[in-house]
Structure 1
Amino acid sequence: MKSLLYSFIFLSAFTFAQTNTFKNDSLKTGIADSTKSQNNIDEVTITQFSVKKLNNPISTDVYSQQFFRKNPTPNIFESIAMVNGVKPQLNCSVCNTGDIHINGLEGAYTMILIDGMPIVSSLSTVYGLSGIPNSLVDRIEITKGPASSIFGSEAMGGVINIITKNALQAPKFSVDVMTGNQGEVNLDIAKKVINSKQLSGLLSLNYFYYGNKIDQNKDNFTDTALQHRISVFNKWNFKRNENRLASFALRYFYEDRFGGEIQWKKENRGSDDVYGESIYTNRLELFGIYQLPVKEKLLLQYSYNYHNQNSFYGNTPYMATQKVLFLQLNGEKQFGKHNLKSGISYKSNFYDDNTPGTANSSGENQPMKSPIAGVYLEDEWEISNKNTLLIGYRYDYHKVHKSVHSPRLAWKFEPNPYNTLRLSFGTGFRVVNLFTEDHAALTGSREVVIQEDLKPEKSLNTNFSYLMKIPVNNYFINVDVNGFYSYFNNKIIGDFDSEPDKIIYNNLAGHAISRGISADVSTNWTLPFQIMLGMTYMDVYAVNDDKKTRQLHAPKWSGTYTLTYQFKNQFSLDLTGQYYGPMRLPTVPNDFRPEYSPWFTLMNIQLSKKFDSGFEIYGGIRNLLNFVPKNPVLRPFDPFDNNVDNVVNNPFGYTFDTTYGYAPMQGIRSFIGMRYQIR
């Protein structure tokens, strides 16, 4: 298999493309300037895929909205699967909540930002990701690997920075409506409400509805959770003297989600008559940036989010509220060949729920209040035209965990325009909230046991990236190879194996490793046929008492593919998909289901047509090969465990469990849609 990987590195993988490319001041600000370069090899761009790599020592890839339209989906959670090494993971086979894994690490290790702000709180990483519509997105910046020196806690696995549309540059009006043969409806509408020389306002509405109880595998449970949600987004961009930045955005999100037995009705919510997982989500977000009117470049960034959860898993309630306030003041100054960046930040996190996670030793409710103050300094030193060195350091003070240090070192070597090497080292830390990170703890199907006072996780990390542009006549083939290695102390792992009806949490006595290599290859030419392929090999495991255990839902082999053919009459044909090798699954003792999933691919095809009038129509087929996992729910006929003690009918003592699923239960299905915009 290793020889296959080495061969693949030189034959396949990552396209960097964008019709309008961007140069970013820094990942954390999310502010970019447009450039008109079309075939500049330093930009690493092509017009078909709208993907590029930022030109700094930290390897960061930028994906435009046009890239994700090659497989149109209602939200970011589903779209992000098109990126090699990034995996949206369904954590519940019933209500279909999930998180986003980078390089095999669980979703709690992935920091998700909106316009550079940590607006996606830990509670919403479980419930709110499907509520971020693609209509908000101008582009998405992805950094694989730890970034705690800039972003602090929760950035150990990687950073996904969602840059929203700029109201000054957005179309006057746009609409995108999509439906499918299973009855889902997705509607995106955006309109400029004010458009002047000094101010522009953008009002955007996303509505999604799916209400069909479909049970193709005949287990009496919905194959896909029913969803009814609405998202309203309003952003204001101000044009100021000397091009100083100023923007403000507000978003409200509501969702009613249900998964469970086919006969479930609203009046069964919270009862033990019919099993259903019913989740009501209310969420408010506000965030913005303001550049101070001084000579030096000083940016004030701020965000606040309120998240309220009203949920029942069968007859088990889960009621939670989270409020997060974030403030950051950062500056930037050029001293010769040194670009200095520094900042101070404050994050206030209030979290309360009805579980043991927010109870004191006496069992009384005690909401979590965890303010974190931080300061960071970073120096990007251009040693020569070929060498750039980045040195960064962050200090955070946490009320419980006290001082936390996060240094980072990165080096970029570019001997010529055709080859670029990046190497980085650093540390990471993470403050854990179990009940917002592990959905299995909330389903009511297993008892949660916390054996000790949990300490914050720490890690040592190294990453390398090698970008090679191979000339082919007047064009290029781009090859991007990335390697990663992380060593974890105090890693917190839920033990699903010791007792089938419990999840036992404690700090790992040993250590954990996440290591691997990914390769991406793409074409960069004006031919009508474009190729983008990716493959990742990773080995993610924990060692406890000399026993090595593979990470759940972390396949050793995975990859992506995007093939596009552009016809002369503005028709486009896109074939996209992901493939996954065997991944370890949370089985129970004497489980009749395999411990590892099979090899499988989720393939999609789309045909689209653009018109000069601004209209675009598209349609296609998802899951073309009709792959669905088998037996995702254990004992679906006894969800309240009323008959588990019947040794005749249940000799192995199985209990109801929803954690086995590893892929969507929706089989082959079609979709059709229409877009229109007025510039």
Structure 2
Amino acid sequence: MKNIQKSLLTLLLLFVFQITFSQITKEKALVKGECGMCKDRIEKTALKSGAKTATWTAETQTLEVEFDTSKTSLDKLLKNIADVGHDNEKYKTSQDVYDNLPACCHYDRTVTFNKNEEKNTPQVITTLAKVNGACEMCKERIEETAKKSGATQAEWNAETLLLKLEFDQSKTSLDQILKDIATVGHDNEKYKTDESTYNALPGCCHYDRTANMEEAVTSKNSEHTASTEDHSEHNAETSKNEKMIEGVKLTKYQAATALNKKEAGLVFNINSKELLKAACCNLSESFETNATVDVSFSNAVTGTKQLKMLGLDQKYTALTKELLPEIRGLASAYGLNFIPGRWISGIQLTKGGSTVVNGYESITGQINTEFVKFNKEPENSVNLFADFNGRYEANIVSTSKLNEKWGQSILLHGNATVGEMDDNNDTFLDRPKGNQINAAYLLDYNDLENSGFGSHFGIQYLVDKRIAGQVGFDDKLPQIAQNKYGVNIDINRFQVWNKTGYIFKGKPYQSIGLMNQFTYHKQNSFFGLRNYFGEQKTYYSNLIFESIFGNTNHKYKTGASFLYDDYNEDYLAQNFQRTETVPGLFFEYTLTGLKYTLVAGSRVDFHNLAGTQFTPRINFKYDFSPKTILRLSAGKGFRTANIFAENQQFFASNRSVEILQNGGKTYGLKPEIAWNYGASLQQDFKLFGKKASWITDFFRTDFQNQVLVDLENPQKIVFYNLDGKSFANSLQTQLDFSVAKNLDFRVAYKYYDVQADFASGRKEIPFMAKNRGFFNAAYSTKKEGKDAFWTFDTTVQYVGKQRIPNTASNPQNLQLPEFSDSYMTWNAQIAHNFNKNIRAYFGGENLTGTRQKNPIVDAQNPFGNYFDGGMVYAPIMPANFYVGFDVNF
């Protein structure tokens, strides 16, 4: 019994001792941080310092800890947390430790938690401000002025235009420092210098005053908002109300054309400012001042244009609208005409492997177009255009705010080509006549700030009619009653789409979004005595979930997609029908380090006709320095060929059509599968004291399978699957630099080596020039505070010789040479802004008058065996001039 009592007494004493000397307590403390990486660092440090549990919340900046007071203390925890970089209510980290944190962890240090410290001690803070300048003399002037205004430290970076300041807030202020800097000649995020002070600066100090200094320093959210960083560098600058999942967000653009330094892939952002440098009546003309994309006429009868990238046809580039499938299937031939230039707010152009999130069809890259939407203030504009050869266009764009959460856009377009022109006297119209009516309505809901929801709805309808062929052809007569060769193309197209997203409360890096689109496309047409009818119904859906692993250096996207295509085509007396259903799953991981970004993704698609397809893609970016960036990419893509819709340029001929089937389920052909590999090096530097950028890239595309279009027999067009090798090598080097204030040059050279094993042996792909040169110059007289100014733009392109398909079996007078002649083209435009609301422009295209001689083979005998309008390698229109007016109200 006594032993039991002793044991109980011992246990009681131990319990009392535990209570007295080993007290477990819970505490809260204020600790500064910014992102998931901060959370990880704070909690791990607290646990290493003796805490049993530690939870830090970014929204409240609060750390909750549980610890044994006999082993550690709150004071010790907070001191250790400060040592690794996080200010808190008791301790501040050193400036060096703070500066060495990753950029996404840089929290606001201008406000302290310690109120006594604010009152009784110097309030030394470190902050960033944006200040304009151009050279070392500017740097010296800015830093000296900042120190005279009370800053203890001042360091200005000419590349980023960021001024790093340290000062005692009880003695001066950021406002005072920036005001004093403006008085000596430097615009900044709060103040602008007057014109006379700016003009008095030395010539080397004259910076670009068109830049927007009101976008203060880098947004502290820009590094860790995984849900909004998918396509362009400007996304990091969007306000919280513009954040959305990929494809649902609203975006804005700053530079006219800029290579996105943050993207792992080679992504160019092209905005409306760039599009205004040329006529840009539709998407096919949006790349006249861009060296990456090649634009050419596809045939001499219908006058349609096609894009080429990395040495391959348009069909191998994914053409999307607001990240939804757009120009594909039956729209391949004429779809570039369905997006008016004045409807475009921006274009994102990706060379090489793009994200797996957007689908499997991209092989050479992706071109995404964004429509104009309501952004802060209502916009209403009217554009009128006319050229000297009988083409007229009108565009109306209106955006307005319905209430605090709803905005709308009304987009209207109409065009008509009424002039009959046969400048080369071959009896065929040099350009088809016709008209188009195109209308779209966009409705946007934005409540991201409160509920986290946002949605975008769109609807578009167009009617497009074009008439081509011989002069005097009467499209009102029945086809069988015609005695002249004619082409009649009627297209009706309807689309409706919706994109809805949700950002999780308290988790700006986590979002979910759903995109849906239905498209109906119908074409009724005939080419001489040949009929072509096509009808396509497409439904597309894409569900995307985005989040992080641990912190925002480890992001991921995953989801599922579904594509339904129903095709019904008649060519001559044959009918071709098929239905494609493609459910798919995807996953993409993004790893971000201090100097590198890795994006690795893959998708699996279960195609009912092409079988299960696995599509991996990877992009890697390494920053040797802020001025030197290396990118590497590799990826796979696949697609099913639409052999009739994609080759309508050859319908205007009397070639017979032959399909060599090999057991595939699309026209008897197997799907096209290709791998693309790329590398690029970007270097920024100073040239003549001005900013310059040089980029060189190389891409190779290897086809595992391809549907070849064989034109080597001039009486036939033969479709068959590749048996052997097919590849495309693309090398491009480009230099962008400023010669003087507001005078910018762009110079580029491209080399293509594109070959395939045809039935008759390995040959160069026809109509692809090996050598291309490009030069663009842009000048503006715009001055700060002046609404009236002139702009001048000119583009010269050199196109080397191209291989022409074999015509040796034709009569001698109808034979074409093996290679075309090289040629040059010259476009130019002058525009004058009378004020903020009125702009007029005048320009010319193909001012060298370069034209292909006799672009139509045997034009005098259009119903004969040798007639062919598809052998086009050069411009077919003479020099053309145009005028236009833009009115905003």
- Structure 1-normalised TM-score? 0.88
Of 444-453 and 315-324, the range deviating more from structure 2:
444-453
Give the counterpart of 2:641 among 415, 421, 432. 432
1:651 match:
none
Bigger share in strand? 1
Q: Contact 1:632–1:660 (CA<8 Å) still a contact in 2?
A: yes
Q: Does 1:95 align with 2:302?
A: yes
Q: Contact 2:320–2:366 (CA<8 Å) still a contact in 1?
A: yes
Q: Encode CA deviations 1:323-348: one digit per residue, 9 max, x unaligned.
A: 11100000111222211011210000
The DSSP-based 3-state class of the residue aligned with 2:644 is helix
Question: Superposed, which structure 2 residues align to 1:537-548 within 5 Å?
Answer: 537-544=751-758, 547-548=761-762
Give the counterpart of 1:72 among 273, 276, 279. 279
2:794 match:
575
Question: Superposed, which structure 2 residues align to 1:92-491 within 5 Å?
Answer: 92-147=299-354, 149-169=356-376, 171-192=378-399, 194-242=401-449, 244-268=453-477, 270-271=479-480, 272-292=482-502, 294-295=504-505, 296-335=510-549, 336=551, 337-355=553-571, 365=575, 367-382=577-592, 384-443=593-652, 445-452=654-661, 453-472=668-687, 475-491=690-706
The DSSP-based 3-state class of the residue aligned with 1:601 is strand
Q: Distance in 1 between matches of 2:424 and 2:454?
A: 53
The DSSP-based 3-state class of the residue aligned with 1:437 is helix
Q: Contact 1:18–1:49 (CA<8 Å) still a contact in 2?
A: no
Q: Distance in 2 between matches of 1:46 and 1:248?
A: 21
2:772 match:
558
C-alpha spacing 1:18/1:554, structure 2 compared with 1 (3 Å): farther
Instruction: Tell me the number of residue pairs that the alignment of Structure 1 and Structure 2 aligns.
Output: 634
Give the counterpart of 2:842 among 619, 635, 643. 619
Q: Distance in 2 between matches of 1:169 and 1:281?
A: 36
Q: Counterpart amino acid of 2:577?
A: P
2:84 match:
none
Give the counterpart of 2:869 among 658, 662, 665. 658
Q: Counterpart amino acid of 2:807?
A: V
C-alpha spacing 1:217/1:170, structure 2 compared with 1 (3 Å): farther
The DSSP-based 3-state class of the residue aligned with 2:654 is coil
What is the CA distance between 1:546 and its match in structure 2? 9.0
The DSSP-based 3-state class of the residue aligned with 1:80 is coil
Q: Contact 2:229–2:236 (CA<8 Å) still a contact in 1?
A: no
Q: Contact 2:353–2:617 (CA<8 Å) still a contact in 1?
A: no
Q: Does 1:600 align with 2:803?
A: no
Q: Distance in 1 between matches of 2:887 and 2:527?
A: 41
Of 451-460 and 416-425, the range deviating more from structure 2:
451-460
What is the CA distance between 1:450 and its match in structure 2? 0.9
The DSSP-based 3-state class of the residue aligned with 1:245 is strand
Q: Encode CA deviations 1:143-169: one digit per residue, 9 max, x unaligned.
A: 122437333343112211001112235
Q: Distance in 1 between matches of 2:411 and 2:873?
A: 33
2:887 match:
676
Give the counterpart of 1:500 among 687, 710, 714. 714
What is the CA distance between 1:26 and its match in structure 2? 5.0
C-alpha spacing 1:545/1:215, structure 2 compared with 1 (3 Å): closer
Q: Counterpart amino acid of 2:762?
A: K
2:807 match:
588
What is the CA distance between 1:35 and its match in structure 2? 5.7
Gaps of 5+ in 2: 1-208, 240-251, 662-667, 783-787
Q: Distance in 1 between matches of 2:318 and 2:765?
A: 20
C-alpha spacing 1:397/1:33, structure 2 compared with 1 (3 Å): same
What is the CA distance between 1:441 and its match in structure 2? 4.9
Of 477-486 and 289-298, the range deviating more from structure 2:
289-298
Q: Counterpart amino acid of 1:426?
A: G
Q: Counterpart amino acid of 1:575?
A: T
Q: Distance in 2 between matches of 1:354 and 1:311?
A: 10
Q: Counterpart amino acid of 1:561?
A: F
Of 224-233 and 80-89, the range deviating more from structure 2:
80-89
Q: Encode CA deviations 1:396-425: one digit per residue, 9 max, x unaligned.
A: 110012110111122110021110100011
Query: RMSD of the alignment, in Å?
Result: 2.6
- Structure 2-normalised TM-score? 0.68
Bigger share in helix? 2
Q: Distance in 2 between matches of 1:490 and 1:50?
A: 35
What is the CA distance between 1:395 and its match in structure 2? 0.6
The DSSP-based 3-state class of the residue aligned with 1:111 is strand
Q: Contact 2:374–2:401 (CA<8 Å) still a contact in 1?
A: no
Q: Percent identity?
A: 24
C-alpha spacing 1:386/1:29, structure 2 compared with 1 (3 Å): closer
Q: Contact 1:186–1:207 (CA<8 Å) still a contact in 2?
A: yes
Name the structure, 1 or 2, with higher relative contact order (CA <8 Å, separation 6+): 1
Q: Distance in 2 between matches of 1:399 and 1:72?
A: 43
C-alpha spacing 1:540/1:143, structure 2 compared with 1 (3 Å): same
Q: Distance in 1 between matches of 2:253 and 2:823?
A: 30
Q: Distance in 1 between matches of 2:395 and 2:476?
A: 32
The DSSP-based 3-state class of the residue aligned with 1:123 is helix
Q: Distance in 2 between matches of 1:613 and 1:456?
A: 52
Q: Counterpart amino acid of 1:532?
A: R
Q: Distance in 2 between matches of 1:304 and 1:595?
A: 45
